[in-house]
Structure 1
């Protein structure tokens, strides 16, 4: 089987139509080049050049080899370039999960920055609660997640996190409710004790769900859950419909929502932190993943 080096030597001679000029181009002596061409002809069992004291022309077999050698070298150079780009995380694919609250600010910023620096990487995005992301990361069905902390204790040793957003939970109250009065003043968490709550299922975000229950316990009550919804956007919508109160990230209050008043929490059980982090399976060192994590580092430094 001919090597790339042999293809390169043959093409140099075919283009220069001179062993001497081809040898100069290849930065080698002429006798080894002449010997290399003769060896190729012996391996192939054909004559590649018509020659007397000099090269007159390519044979029919030589013309075919020139076309194929050019294609082979171009393909080999492409393969090497793509391999280097893949090793640098510049091409490939990346499976990304994200909680709904990340859509407002964090996700668009990260995706835009990553696509600008790595346009060759195909991004597969999937909205999913934290618990589903953790399961997918551990099963290698997802490369990186944008998840709400804390993670379930069972995943802490197997998942690496990089905190991107540090926020706090605020009370979301129907605008016509008596507790919506004085919206600029903090409200005691205990003031929500007798209200119907809208809360996400514990299995969808066990870490944050546990944090909320612990905070309510510190305030002296257990939430009376009237409705359950998975996504924060849905929860806020149900609050607007007057179905109950809820705790949601402060960024929802900053954006505002018709029919809902957002109040900071005060007193026992508060503040309640809300953190969003990049999360990936410990030991996963895919180049595209590492490039996305670096993008996250840069975005975090700018915050």
Structure 2
């Protein structure tokens, strides 16, 4: 019967698509790794890798095995963490978050939750909305702070925390700075900064659709994953951008914010708590997060 060690070995080989690199990653020699994968295939009764002198891709059986192996390893880690937490009297919440929450909202939620509920360990990781949805499916996190909209997914729970909007971010001294509000069409012809679509398809599509409704396609000169990085590039004069209103209270130097006006001008920025497995711990976290997000500072965001 395959064990966790073999699962880890196969995951490394599948992710690296190279026995040499996988062996280096696992700190072991290559021949024993090759033998272990061959024995695993014999036990499964099917080839998991398409290979000759090198690995080309996973077979359908290999892709299925990889998905289940990742889930099994994640569950094993979760089981160990739960046992250790129970032994120490502490609980653990694996929480992911988008970068726009890190400077204001998330710290307040964490502080309030610890004050209210005492001993708790957070395993925190920053990730995109798309990355968090995948991590939830694979049981690598318990909950995530994601940006809506997302495609309907069976078994996914979402609770709205912040219902804000996107604001125009301009470099200080920009010719449009004199306007208190801007119409989206005024940004036609400007160099744009935007995040790659696969990091947040829902929000990316909202922005592109709003620009199309305003009669133009944004001329994207630079992509960046993090909203705070985009704000920094705006400050450097690289271009203009739409960023969450949640960033405005930070007042990043060199950046001027302006709200949008006009028909269908509002581009919503909706932050939600997402999870797949309800629990008492997640329910308490949701209550705390919604209470903090209901503060006037975030309702106005």
Q: Say yes or no: TM over 0.5.
A: yes
Tell me the CA shift for residue 294 of structure 1.
Answer: 2.9
Structure 2 distance, partners of 1:297, 1:238, is 32
Runs of 4+ in 1 over 6 A off after TM superposition: none
Partner of residue 122, structure 2: 123
Indicate conservation of the 8 Å contact 1:99/1:128, yes or no. Answer: yes
Structure 2 distance, partners of 1:301, 1:248, is 20
Tell me the CA shift for residue 202 of structure 1.
Answer: 0.3
Structure 2 distance, partners of 1:229, 1:106, is 22
SS of 1:203's equivalent in the other structure is helix
Cα distance per residue 1:218-263 (max 9 Å; x no partner)? 1111111100001110000000111110001123233322211111
Partner of residue 51, structure 1: none
SS of 2:239's equivalent in the other structure is coil
TM-score w.r.t. structure 1 length? 0.65
Cα distance per residue 1:132-182 (max 9 Å; x no partner)? 11110111001010111112x153x33211111111111001113212223
Structure 2 counterparts to residues 157-172 of structure 1, below 5 A: 157-172=154-169
SS of 2:206's equivalent in the other structure is helix
Return 5+ residue gaps in structure 1 as ranges.
1-81
Partner of residue 95, structure 2: 96
Indicate conservation of the 8 Å contact 1:97/1:142, yes or no. Answer: yes
Structure 2 distance, partners of 1:225, 1:122, is 41
Task: Confirm whether residue 192 of structure 1 aligns to residue 187 of structure 2.
Answer: yes
Structure 1 distance, partners of 2:98, 2:295, is 22
Partner of residue 281, structure 2: 288
Partner of residue 223, structure 1: 218
Structure 2 counterparts to residues 1-303 of structure 1, below 5 A: 91-151=90-150, 153-155=151-153, 157-182=154-179, 185-281=180-276, 284-300=277-293
Q: Tell me the matched-pair count.
A: 212
Structure 2 distance, partners of 1:269, 1:300, is 25
Once the two structures are overlaid, the 10-residue window that deviates more, 237-246 or 217-226, is 217-226
Indicate conservation of the 8 Å contact 1:148/1:275, yes or no. Answer: yes
Return 5+ residue gaps in structure 2 as ranges.
1-81, 297-301
SS of 1:176's equivalent in the other structure is coil
Indicate conservation of the 8 Å contact 1:189/1:268, yes or no. Answer: no
Structure 2 distance, partners of 1:229, 1:187, is 23
Tell me the CA shift for residue 195 of structure 1.
Answer: 0.7
Tell me the CA shift for residue 300 of structure 1.
Answer: 4.6
Structure 2 distance, partners of 1:254, 1:176, is 20
Indicate conservation of the 8 Å contact 1:189/1:269, yes or no. Answer: no
RMSD: 2.1
TM-score w.r.t. structure 2 length? 0.66
Structure 2 distance, partners of 1:124, 1:137, is 14
Structure 2 distance, partners of 1:256, 1:173, is 12
Structure 1 distance, partners of 2:234, 2:292, is 32
